Amino acid sequence: MTDQTRPRYQVIVLNGGSSSGKSGIARCLQAVLPGAWLTFGVDSLDAAMPASLRDGGEGLGIGADGSVSVGPEYRRLSDAWRLGVAAMVRAGARVVLDEVFLDGADGQQRWLRALDGLDVLWAGVRCAPETAAAREAARGDRVPGMARAQADVVHQGVRYDVEVDSTNARPLDCAHLIAQHVTP
Query: Which pLDDT score is estimated for 166?
Result: 98
Q: What is the pLDDT along the chain (184 residues), one digit of tens a residue?
A: 555 566 789 999 999 999 999 999 999 999 999 999 999 999 899 899 998 898 778 888 888 888 888 899 999 999 999 999 999 999 999 999 999 999 999 999 999 999 999 999 999 999 999 999 999 999 877 888 999 999 999 999 999 999 999 999 999 999 999 999 997 6
CATH number, domain with residue 39:
3.40.50.300
Close Cβ partners of 19 (under 8 Å, ≥ 6 residues apart): 127, 132, 133, 135, 136, 139, 142, 146, 147
Close Cβ partners of 110 (under 8 Å, ≥ 6 residues apart): 79, 82
Distance, C-alpha 130 to centroid of its chain: 20
Biggest CA pair distance of the chain: 51
Residue 5 falls within a domain, yes or no? no
Residue 94 falls within a domain, yes or no? yes
Contact present, 34 and 94 (Cβ < 8 Å): no
Contact present, 34 and 6 (Cβ < 8 Å): yes
Residue 4 falls within a domain, yes or no? no
Residue 77 falls within a domain, yes or no? yes
Please state the domain count of the chain.
Answer: 1
Residue 165 falls within a domain, yes or no? yes
Residue 98 falls within a domain, yes or no? yes
**Residues labelled catalytic:** 43
Give the orientation angle of helix 129-139 with respect to helix 146-153, to 10 degrees: 140
The amino acid that residue 2 corresponds to is: T
Residue 167 falls within a domain, yes or no? yes
Query: Which pLDDT score is estimated for 4?
Result: 55
pTM: 0.92
Domain that holds residue 35: 11-182
Residue 39 falls within a domain, yes or no? yes
